[in-house]
Every structure is written in C-alpha cells, then in structure tokens.
Amino acid sequence: MLIRWGHTQVICAVTCEENVPRWMKEQNVEGGWLTAEYSMLPYSTLTRKSRDISRGKLDGRSQEIQRLIGRSLRSVVDLKRLNGKTFYVDCDVLQADGGTRTASITGSYVALKLAVARLLAEEKIQEDPVIKSVAAVSVGVINGIPMLDLNYEEDSTAEVDMNLVMTSAGEFCELQGTGERITFSPNDLQKMLDLGREGITKLNQLQEQILAD
Amino acid sequence: MLIRWGHTQVICAVTCEENVPRWMKEQNVEGGWLTAEYSMLPYSTLTRKSRDISRGKLDGRSQEIQRLIGRSLRSVVDLKRLNGKTFYVDCDVLQADGGTRTASITGSYVALKLAVARLLAEEKIQEDPVIKSVAAVSVGVINGIPMLDLNYEEDSTAEVDMNLVMTSAGEFCELQGTGERITFSPNDLQKMLDLGREGITKLNQLQEQILAD
Amino acid sequence: MLIRWGHTQVICAVTCEENVPRWMKEQNVEGGWLTAEYSMLPYSTLTRKSRDISRGKLDGRSQEIQRLIGRSLRSVVDLKRLNGKTFYVDCDVLQADGGTRTASITGSYVALKLAVARLLAEEKIQEDPVIKSVAAVSVGVINGIPMLDLNYEEDSTAEVDMNLVMTSAGEFCELQGTGERITFSPNDLQKMLDLGREGITKLNQLQEQILAD
Amino acid sequence: MLIRWGHTQVICAVTCEENVPRWMKEQNVEGGWLTAEYSMLPYSTLTRKSRDISRGKLDGRSQEIQRLIGRSLRSVVDLKRLNGKTFYVDCDVLQADGGTRTASITGSYVALKLAVARLLAEEKIQEDPVIKSVAAVSVGVINGIPMLDLNYEEDSTAEVDMNLVMTSAGEFCELQGTGERITFSPNDLQKMLDLGREGITKLNQLQEQILAD
Amino acid sequence: MLIRWGHTQVICAVTCEENVPRWMKEQNVEGGWLTAEYSMLPYSTLTRKSRDISRGKLDGRSQEIQRLIGRSLRSVVDLKRLNGKTFYVDCDVLQADGGTRTASITGSYVALKLAVARLLAEEKIQEDPVIKSVAAVSVGVINGIPMLDLNYEEDSTAEVDMNLVMTSAGEFCELQGTGERITFSPNDLQKMLDLGREGITKLNQLQEQILAD
Amino acid sequence: MLIRWGHTQVICAVTCEENVPRWMKEQNVEGGWLTAEYSMLPYSTLTRKSRDISRGKLDGRSQEIQRLIGRSLRSVVDLKRLNGKTFYVDCDVLQADGGTRTASITGSYVALKLAVARLLAEEKIQEDPVIKSVAAVSVGVINGIPMLDLNYEEDSTAEVDMNLVMTSAGEFCELQGTGERITFSPNDLQKMLDLGREGITKLNQLQEQILAD
C-alpha cells in the first residue's frame, strides 16, 4: 500500500515467508519473526540520492530506521502465533518531505493487518497475531515552541526531534527524543508527549477507516 | 581513560585532528566536528564476539550506539569553537556486562574534558568548547518494577529499556525508550524519568571528582 | 511515471544533474551523459526477492539490463546538446510479470521526453537533445512458433528470447537474441524481426498519445 | 589452451568438478551445469588495467561477457549428460586487441571438446555432452560499410558492433547488435548477418583442424 | 593480559571455543586449532589510525602479523591434545612504539599458558598442549651496527629488520629478516642471531616469573 | 615473460606508469616506486581455485607473497632514479607445483631488466635503476634432512620451509624461515643457508643467460 503523509509518499509492503532467521533455529526459539527494511528511492529527494548498492553499504540512518520499524511492529505482534513464519515489512520512500520513519510505521501497521487478513482467509494462520494497534508521530520544538509535526522536514530548523510510537490504548512502544546540538527541558518533554498523544489518536482513526473499507 | 561500570569496562579515548568531514567543506559549514566510534573487543563477551572486520561490516547495533554517543556529546559542545578541528571519540569495550552505551557516553565526557584541558594548555584552542556536562544512565522495567539499572545485562529479563542522556542541569540531550516486544504506560515512563534523574546526579558527581584530581 | 505492461509495473524516473562522469572530465569529452539504474523491489516477485544491498552486490542480470537501458536511450540522444549535464534514468520494478527490460526502455523514453520538456520550459537547455523516438519489445519462440511477446514470463517456456530496441523509423538501436539452451534458424530470426516491427509501431503510438496529453 | 586472434591472446581453460550450483540442488534440477568466468589480466591492455580485486568488484562489461560465454556454450551442450558435474570455463585475456569475447567463445569450444575427450577416455562420462559446434564473430559498420571484423578494436571507430554466436549448421545461439550512440537499418543488419556467416564457417574449419591434431 | 614493552602496550587475550575451522572438518583432520587476530586500536599511534572496518578491509601488514603470531604459537603447541577445540589469540595494540609483533608473540605465550592452566583446573583438557616455550625479539642494523632492538620504532632509521621467534631451548620457530631497500651480509646475519639469542633468554626469564606469580 | 620452474609456470610482467602512490605525493617523497601483485589463476591448481574476486577479497597468503615480491625487488632498485614513475610487477601463476613465490621473484627480476632496457632505449629513463641482481630459492628440511628445494610442493611433507632472497654478491634481501608446527636448530639453519647460496648462484647464471639473448 502507498501511504501519503503531506508530500511524503512511502510504499509499505508486507510479505510472509515460511522460514525464520538462522539465530532462531540455532537457539531453538519457538514462534516466528518480523523484520523490516527501509530504503529511499533515488528520486525521493530534491537532489537525486544515490542507491545503497552504489555506495556499497546501507547508511547508518537507514539502518536505524529499519530497526525502529521492526521493533515497533514486533511490540504489537504475538510472535508465538507466527509459528515458523517471518513477516518482511518493506518500506520504500517514493517522495521524502519529512516524517518518513513515522509514516513507514503507521502505514506498515495497515499493510500488516491486510496481509494477516489474507493469511487468515487462506487459513495459513489460525489466529490474528496482531494484538494491539500501533502508529507513530514526530513532535518537535521549533523556535522554542513544541509542535506536532506531521509535515516536518528532517533537516529543517527544528531544534528537538522526538518520535513517538504508541498503541491506540496510549501505551508507548518506542520513544526517541534527540536535541541534535541542543538540549531540552522536562517541561518541553511533557508538552511534546501531550501533542504526540493527540496525533496518535487521529492516526488510529485513519488506520481504522482504511481497514474498514 | 578506562571507565568501570559494575563489571563493564570501556576504554574512552579522544583524539583531536586538524581536519573536518568532507560534507562540511563542501557545504562551507564553519566550525569543527565531533564524531564517535564504538566497538566491542572480541574478548568482551562470555562467548568470543567475532571482529567487525571478520564479518565485513559494522553491525546495526554498533552503528546506532556510535551515532548516539556522537549526538550526545555534540549536544554539549559549541562546535563553532573548534574551528577546523574534529574530535574523534573512540569507545572500545574491554568487558561487557550491561550498560556499555551509557558507560561510553559518561566516560567519553571525562575523556573529552581532559583532551580539551590539554589543548587549552598547549594553546591549540582558545576557549573551552564544552559548554555543559553530560552523563547517561539506563533505566528499565523488570518484573513490572521500574528500576535504575546500572548493572543491567542488555539481553536480560528487562521488559523495557530506556537510555537517558542528560546534562547536570537536568536537561535532556537524548531519550530513548523501547519496549522490545512489550509496551509501557505513561506512568512507567514517569517513574523511569525520576529514577534516571537521580542516577545522572550521582554520575555528575563522580565525573567532577575525577576531573578535579 | 509508472508504466503498466500487462501485470508488469515499472516506475521510470528521469533526473537531470549538473555534472558529468569522471571519465568525461579526465578525457575532456564534450557534452553530457545519460546513465540508467534498474532494480527489482523486493515485493515485485511472487517469492520476495532480497534487496541488492542485502546480497552486497548488484546481480549480473540487473547490471546487464541497466547497461542496455542506458545504451538504448543514448542511441536516440544527441549528448552534445546536454553540455555538462547527466540524465539519470531510474527504473524500479514494482511488479514483475515478464518484459521488465522492454517496459523500462519504453517507459523511460516517455519520462525522458517529459523531463526534457520541463528543462526546455525552464530554459535550462536550449534545444531538445532527443533526436529520435525509441521503444522496445521482446519476441520469442514458444513451442516452435515465433510470437510477439508483450506479456512474456521471463523464466517461462520460451525457447528463444529476443529483445528489439527500435526507433519509430524502423532503425535498430539494439538487437539481442538468445536461445538459452537452444539454437534458432535464420528463418525464425526473420519472423521475429517482422513481429517485433509491428509491436514497436503500436508502442510508438501509445507513447505519442501519452506525450500529447 | 591459448587462442590467438590477430594480436588478441586469450587463455581458455575448462575444468570439470563433481558438484552443481546450489540452486540446482535446491530446486532438484537434474543434470549438470556449465559456467564461465572472464577476466582481463592487468598487462593485457596498453595502459595497465587494475585487477578486479583491487577495484573490489567485477565490472559490468566483464560480467556481461562471462554470462554470454556461458550461455553460448550451454546452448550446444546437453546438460542432462553431465549428471552432477559442472564445467568451469575460464577465459583470461593475455593481450587485448579487439574481439576478446568472440575469441573466448571460439577458443572455449575447443578447450571444452578437449576436456570432454579426456573425461570420456577416463570413463568419467559415458557420452559426449557437446551436441553441436559453436563459434563467434563480431561484425561491424565502419564508415557506413558493414565489414567482418576479426581484428576489431572495441573502442574503435566502429559505429555498430554485432556479435554472432552460431553453430556449424548455421543456427544462431546468440545475436547481439548494438549501435552505441547510433542506429542501424534492416539492410545493414542483413549484410552483417551474411558476413558473419562466412566468418563462422572459416572458424569452424580452424576448430576442426585443431581438434583433429 | 597487558604486555608493556618500552612504551608499547598490547592486550593479549586467549579464548577457547568448542569448534574447529571448517577446513578441518571437511578434511577430517583430528585435533584442534589455534588462530590469532591482531589489530591496532585507533589511538595507538601518534596520528589516529582509522579502524580496519572504516577502511573496509584488514591491511596487508596486520594480516601478515596475525599469521605470524598464529604460526609461532602453533609451533609450540601439540594440536592433537586440543581435540575439537580452537584457541583464539587476540592481540590489540593500545600503544605502538615499535616491536608490536614481537611483544604480541611474547605476551600471547603467557596468556596462552594462563588459559591452559584454567582449562586444566576445570578439567576441560587433560594434558597441557603447550610443549615448548616461545618468545620473540626483533634485531636490526642501525647505522651499520647490528643491535638488539627491544624499543624499536618500525618506521625508524633501521636499515635491516629481523624478527626472531625462538624457544627457550634455542630452537627457531620463525626467522624473518628484511632489508627494506637495502641488503645485508652473512656476517650481519650472524651478529643479529647472536644478539637475538641473548634477548630471547631474558624474555624467557620474565615469562617464567609472571607465570610463577 | 613466462618462467618455468619444474612444473610451476608463472607469468611475470612489468609495466611502467607515470604516477606514484598517493602516500608519496602527500609526504613529498622524491623518486619513484615499485609494487607487485600476485595471483593464482583458477586452473593453476589440481582442484580449481576460485578467483579472488569471487571470494571478494585477496587471501592472506597472496597478500604476503605480493608484499614479499615488492620488497625483494625494491631492495635492488634505486628508487631515486625512477622519478615520478611506478613499476607494476604482475605475477600470475598458470600452474602451481611448489615454489611459486621464489619463481615469481626470480622471473620478475628478468622481466624488470627487460622493461628497463626498453625504457632506456626509448630514453624514458636516463640511468639503469636496477643496481644489483636478485634471485630467490626455497630450502627445506624433509625427513630431518635439509635440502635445496626447487620443485618443492608447498603443502608437502616439508617440516621447515625457508625462502632466501639474495643478490649475486651473496647479500641477503630477505630471509624467511618457518617451521609450521615444528622448530629447527641453528645447525639446520646453517645447512639451509649454504644450500640456498648454491641455488642462488645457479639461478643468477640462468638469469644472465636469458638477458644476454
């Protein structure tokens, strides 16, 4: 599926395969796994971004983002119910205008639910492994003012950048706040958490609508 | 310098070189830079960990940690005062028993201050670029109880793992909480923040003592 | 732009940058350049295809295809008119059901014309460098019968596979016929060339329609 | 064996090993396999060419050529008769003066026949798997005139370059024509095919002579 | 353990694992194995040395040294007595002021003996596999005068550099003499051998003292 | 040129280019350079050896050998006389039957002299930079008996393996003795040196004869 998030566009696709990572086999871990890969297509940015394969390795930023997407989704999935299966979540950014990581998580949740529905219909799994919903927003402090930041340009003037990954019940999956070259106060933190909570609620509703269709 | 943190031991070394990253030159950015590299020596773990070079690439976890160390230290440094210089922060884990990333940040701050003192003495820089202090702790939820987690085993039974990087004035540099496969409540978050604050205060005192000697 | 070709879907994007490859600078070659990159997205195939970067290198088939796309488009472009500029043609396969290389060439021609129109409108170039049109089809021999093969499954039962890249004037840009594990007669060749000519003519009309809109 | 082709010299060696590629085992494909590797030695060109390993990867041109050599030879081999065996065809260019790919195919056929003769003599295989002969020529258009191009300098003034891989019975294994930066007419194509046919016939005779000795 | 050698400091660590290299399994070689890895930490040199992983490959000098360390220790170990086990010898240079390779060998012998003592105590091996002692010195010719060279700076003014690896009984394990850009006479060789012999004897005594403590 | 050494065959080629390594430019080192590359062609061994590029990196043994070849030749060359030039020595093993490294050095000396003669004739250099001759032999201890070992199988039953690189005047360029898994006495060493000296003398005569032709 394609998620649009302001001008940001990300393809979120979920594939299910009948195998598990080697470390699970070696350590005899039961259940299944979910992993994510994230990539920016070369035409997603104003200046063409050279492909990962041209530079020979995945850059640190992409690695961090795909690890974040994977952890966020695993925190709402009961891996036991995926016996012997792995879900691959692929997020490819078609157009990047800020918020690609939060768009990826929010969209991948919907793609995951759709993939699960199909697997249930085909009786390939017996029980829905997705036990909670998940969505993500970024909030920031811009010119000293905390604000919800759906259309946020990553390399912008924001002084603080915080990503919130939460369930519809208001629990946290992941919380990452960084003041690249600046620090922020406990008071700023509280305001950002409140704003983020509101944003998550709206995203939950949008997700539900899409899944209801 | 060598930081001991329970059984964890990390070498933190700071080197200063007369150059800046290529992107700074290309974009004509003024000032200097600070970057960090993190590595676990093969004998740091119970089972020998093969070297990065043997596996051919830096693993995602190490990349994330070295990016975190770099961001944390940059948030307390005025890069303008480092004109044309780059600080390299090297963190090599001799023994890993939990908390290697927070130990690395806390120890690197001390190493950085010592390196700066030497540069000031040699009149290679005119003004101290380190404008705030920084330390880091991890806090977690274990068996449902939030606790300060100085000797925490990363692959342990902790349900939630939160890293706090803060200044001595109680400002946040970085905040990363993750419930790998679990979620946590706003109430848990508040308790972890309080505990973390206490831990940071103690570490600030230890840092001051070492620097005073 | 997105080209659909039976069930095959390929994103064809053209970006123009103000630089030329290093070898052109070193050898003082005048004019500009055009280069292509081709990649199959992991969810484009029935069984998920692992990313190039996961395998650490571009596979031989993708390299061959991207070199073919580049050569085909360069044969209808007057590089002299692109002074100091490089066109990057990116072809990313969203869904693969045969004919991805011919779809990529045919779609990239349209994307190139659109990019050129924009550059002319912005007065970044003075003259249209695209001096001929280009389209591509594959023809094959299936069960002994040569046939035009728009919806051809590459790993299918075809005994011979021939790719024709031609201009609207019926000139050849590129001609690649291979009888993977089989040989074919001059008579088969002639029939395939005739069929291909017909297919190219239809594609030229479709390209013109899109560009006219 | 060493093939001389004008000033071009290529070592063509065929080795047989008792294993098959992993994909054949995984997909339970019966029979054997034949694969080719092509490399230009550093002293084969006027200006020393740095080794593949120094640049860290095989360049696209070498990959295309080794895939072509492999396909060409497989088209005249009955892989079923190679049960569980793989033929490795190694082509190393000692001196490059044009036509290295066609020289490699033509020479490798002879090396393959010699290797098969030895295996038959040693009773390691029961039946000759080489069911047809194969040779290759390149033909080109130079100053508007199609010509057979045995001593052709690849980066020369040729406007069109076509490689023909054919059996002694006049069947095509592979046909690759490219007008790098130019296009060519159906009439040019026919003339090149006729010239190529003549060249192949002469090469067949030379191959037979060598094998008869 | 940490070996100091003038200003040179090397961490020598020995780990024992229950596996053997793949080639031993494939060739059904009995017994165990011993292998060494050598690395210079980035802050070991006056100018910071970039990590192996940053350059993407182990440099030739480090590879040569780690192969030398491995061979030297294997020559005094009865590998038969290590059934199914591999000793990993890790040498990480903290500070480099000449003689890092000879310090590594001399220190690793002590680390190996300590590791063996622990394994014997834990009854994981039955018999001491270390059947001889080993130590290493470098000797050189400086300004025409052969001299024992414990604090030798590798890139110094030495004209000839010779590494001697010997047992306490005066047998050679390894002998490497090189006159980088110069040659040396049989007479020089004899003097260097005599000096080296004396140095080895002193090192044997120091090793015995440490092991006795 | 091709050197035959028992059944061993090595191509030794010397190319001269008008540039010097980057480190020489950066450090403003005057003169020129000489470097060597060594590779075993896949068909040089009884069981086909996969190419360096297929394994993705140069193996440690090849690296050691090419460094040895480079050092050996540099020790008889006055690099000052090569102002701004680099000699590339390429050694490719066509057939390996022991002694490939000593054959490479001995043959490369002849190839170097031939290349220098051509450069002098073309007046590209003014003075012969090769100021001494060089040749190499390996000597070993087999079944307790030191012997000159021209046709030595590297992975054979030899207990000690020593490579001697010497000038015609009996000076040492390089001396490498290793008792892989065994040690050797000063007495063994003396006998090997005597035998090696004899072998070098014979090789000097052969080199002179070839160069005289």
Residue D155 is predicted with a pLDDT of: 46
Is there a contact between C48 and A92 if contact means CB atoms under 8 Å apart? no
Q: What is the pLDDT of residues E170-194, one digit of tens each?
A: 999 999 999 877 899 999 999 999 9
Q: What backbone torsions phi and psi does residue C38 show, to the nearest 5 degrees?
A: -130, 135
Residue F85 is predicted with a pLDDT of: 94
How many inter-chain contacts (A to B, CB under 8 Å) are there? Answer: 93
Nearest neighbour of D53 by CB, restricted to F11, F17, F53:
F53
Residue D153 is predicted with a pLDDT of: 53
Q: Which of E48, E55, E63, E95 to mutate to test the interface with B (most CBs of B within 10 A)?
A: E48
* Cα end-to-end distance, chain B, whole Å: 14
Residue E157 is predicted with a pLDDT of: 63
Chain B residue whose CA is closest to A34:
B181
Q: Which amino acid is at D109?
A: Y
Is there a contact between C183 and D172 if contact means CB atoms under 8 Å apart? yes
* Cα end-to-end distance, chain F, whole Å: 14
Q: What is the pLDDT of residues C82-107, one digit of tens each?
A: 889 999 999 999 998 888 999 999 99
Q: D154 falls in which pLDDT band (50, 70, 90)? A: very low
Is there a contact between F90 and D41 if contact means CB atoms under 8 Å apart? yes
Nearest neighbour of F173 by CB, restricted to E167, E171, E179:
E179
DSSP character for C48? P
Is there a contact between C15 and A43 if contact means CB atoms under 8 Å apart? yes
Virtual torsion, Cα C147, C153, C158, C164, nearest 10 deg: 50
Q: Structure tokens of E117?
A: 């003592």
Please give the average per-residue pLDDT across D37-50, as a whole number: 91
CB atoms inside a 10 Å sphere around CB F4:
12
- Interface membership of A24 toward B (CB under 8 Å): no
DSSP character for B83? T
Please give the average per-residue pLDDT across A100-127, as a whole number: 94
Residue E153 is predicted with a pLDDT of: 53
Please give the average per-residue pLDDT across A34-39, as a whole number: 96
The residues pairing with B130 across neighbouring beta strands, listed in sequence order, are B77
Q: Which of F52, F161, F183 to mutate to test the interface with E (most CBs of E within 10 A)?
A: F183
Closest among E129, E141, E123, E151 to E193, alpha carbons compared: E141
Residue F59 is predicted with a pLDDT of: 85
For a pLDDT cut of 90, what percent of chain F falls above it? 68
Q: Chain E residues with CB inside 8 Å of F174's CB?
A: 177-179
Chain D residue whose CA is closest to C68:
D178
Residue ranges, chain E, pLDDT below 70: 150-158
Distance from CA of A12 to the nearest CA of B (A): 21
Distance from CA of C21 to the nearest CA of A (A): 14
Q: D60 falls in which pLDDT band (50, 70, 90)? A: confident
CA distances (Å), A8 to each of A40, A92, C149, in order?
A: 11, 11, 37
Distance CA F42, CA F31 (A): 36
- Interface membership of D88 toward F (CB under 8 Å): yes
- Interface membership of B47 toward A (CB under 8 Å): no
Could you tell me which residues come within 8 angstroms of residue A181 by beta carbon, excluding any fewer than 6 positions away?
Answer: B74, B75, B79
* Cα end-to-end distance, chain A, whole Å: 14
- Interface membership of A39 toward C (CB under 8 Å): yes
Helix (H) or strand (E) run with residue A60 in it: helix A60-74
Is there a contact between B76 and A182 if contact means CB atoms under 8 Å apart? no
- Interface membership of A50 toward C (CB under 8 Å): no
Closest among D14, D30, D32, D23 to D77, alpha carbons compared: D32
Q: Chain E residues with CB inside 8 Å of F184's CB?
A: 171-172
Is there a contact between B67 and A71 if contact means CB atoms under 8 Å apart? no
Is there a contact between E88 and B47 if contact means CB atoms under 8 Å apart? no
Q: What backbone torsions phi and psi does residue A198 show, to the nearest 5 degrees?
A: -65, -45
Q: Structure tokens of C200?
A: 């190219």
Residue D157 is predicted with a pLDDT of: 63
Distance from CA of A113 to the nearest CA of C (A): 17
3-state secondary structure (DSSP) of residue B98 = coil
Q: What is the pLDDT of residues B19-63, one digit of tens each?
A: 999 989 888 888 999 999 999 999 998 889 999 888 877 888 899
Chain F residue whose CA is closest to E134:
F183
The residues pairing with B38 across neighbouring beta strands, listed in sequence order, are B91
Distance CA F105, CA F12 (A): 9
3-state secondary structure (DSSP) of residue C75 = coil
Q: Which chains touch E (3 or more CB pairs under 8 A)?
A: B, F
Residue ranges, chain F, pLDDT below 50: 154-155
Distance from CA of F61 to the nearest CA of E (A): 8
Is there a contact between E179 and F179 if contact means CB atoms under 8 Å apart? no
Q: Which of E178, E198, E200 to mutate to test the interface with F (most CBs of F within 10 A)?
A: E178
Is residue F40 within 8 Å of F11, Cβ to Cβ?
A: no
Query: At residue A135, does pLDDT exceed 90?
Result: yes
Residue with tokens 């759906």: A150
Chain D residue whose CA is closest to C177:
D175
Q: Which chains touch F (3 or more CB pairs under 8 A)?
A: D, E
Q: What backbone torsions phi and psi does residue D143 show, to the nearest 5 degrees?
A: 50, 40
Q: Which of F23, F162, F181, F190 to mutate to test the interface with E (most CBs of E within 10 A)?
A: F181
CA distances (Å), A117 to each of A18, A27, A84, A130, D147, in order?
A: 17, 30, 18, 10, 63
CB atoms inside a 10 Å sphere around CB C200:
23
Q: B158 falls in which pLDDT band (50, 70, 90)? A: low
Residue with tokens 């095919």: D193
Q: Structure tokens of B43?
A: 């004998």
* Residue of A48 and E56 predicted with greater confidence: A48
Q: Crossing angle for the helix pair A100-121 and A186-212, nearest 10 degrees?
A: 40
Please give the average per-residue pLDDT across B125-129, as a whole number: 93
Is residue A102 within 8 Å of A196, Cβ to Cβ?
A: no
The residues pairing with C177 across neighbouring beta strands, listed in sequence order, are C162, D175
CB atoms inside a 10 Å sphere around CB F55:
11
Residue with tokens 């290299």: E21
For a pLDDT cut of 90, what percent of chain C falls above it? 68
Residue ranges, chain C, pLDDT below 50: 154-155
3-state secondary structure (DSSP) of residue F45 = coil
Q: Which chains touch B (3 or more CB pairs under 8 A)?
A: A, E
Contacts with C, D 124-183, CB within 8 Å? 132, 162, 167, 170-183
Residue B206 is predicted with a pLDDT of: 92
Q: Chain B residues with CB inside 8 Å of A79's CB?
A: 181
Nearest neighbour of F174 by CB, restricted to E63, E67, E178:
E178
Query: At residue B150, does pLDDT exceed 70?
Result: no
Q: What is the pLDDT of residues F52-74, one digit of tens each?
A: 888 877 888 899 999 999 999 99
Residues of D188-211 as b/e, b for ≥16 C-beta within 10 angstroms? bbebbbebbbebbeebbeebeeee
ipTM of the complex: 0.86
Q: Chain C residues with CB inside 8 Å of D75's CB?
A: 179-183
Q: Which fold has domain D2-212?
A: Ribosomal Protein S5; domain 2 (3.30.230)
Residue B155 is predicted with a pLDDT of: 46
Distance from CA of E180 to the nearest CA of F (A): 6
Residue E155 is predicted with a pLDDT of: 46
- Interface membership of F201 toward E (CB under 8 Å): no
Distance CA B38, CA F186 (A): 47
CB atoms inside a 10 Å sphere around CB E185:
14
Please give the average per-residue pLDDT across D17-34, as a whole number: 91
Q: What is the pLDDT of residues D88-119, one digit of tens each?
A: 999 999 998 888 999 999 999 999 999 999 99
CA distances (Å), A107 to each of A76, B126, B138, B179, E158, in order?
A: 14, 51, 31, 20, 65
Residue with tokens 């403003």: F28
Distance from CA of E110 to the nearest CA of B (A): 16
pTM of the model: 0.85
Chains D and B touch (3+ CB pairs under 8 A): no
The full DSSP string for D141-198 is: EETTEEEE-TT--TTSS-SEEEEEEE-TTS-EEEEEEE-TTS-B-HHHHHHHHHHHHH
Q: Which amino acid is at A204?
A: N
* Residue of D153 and C174 predicted with greater confidence: C174
Chains C and D touch (3+ CB pairs under 8 A): yes
Query: At residue A104, does pLDDT exceed 90?
Result: yes
Distance from CA of B189 to the nearest CA of A (A): 9
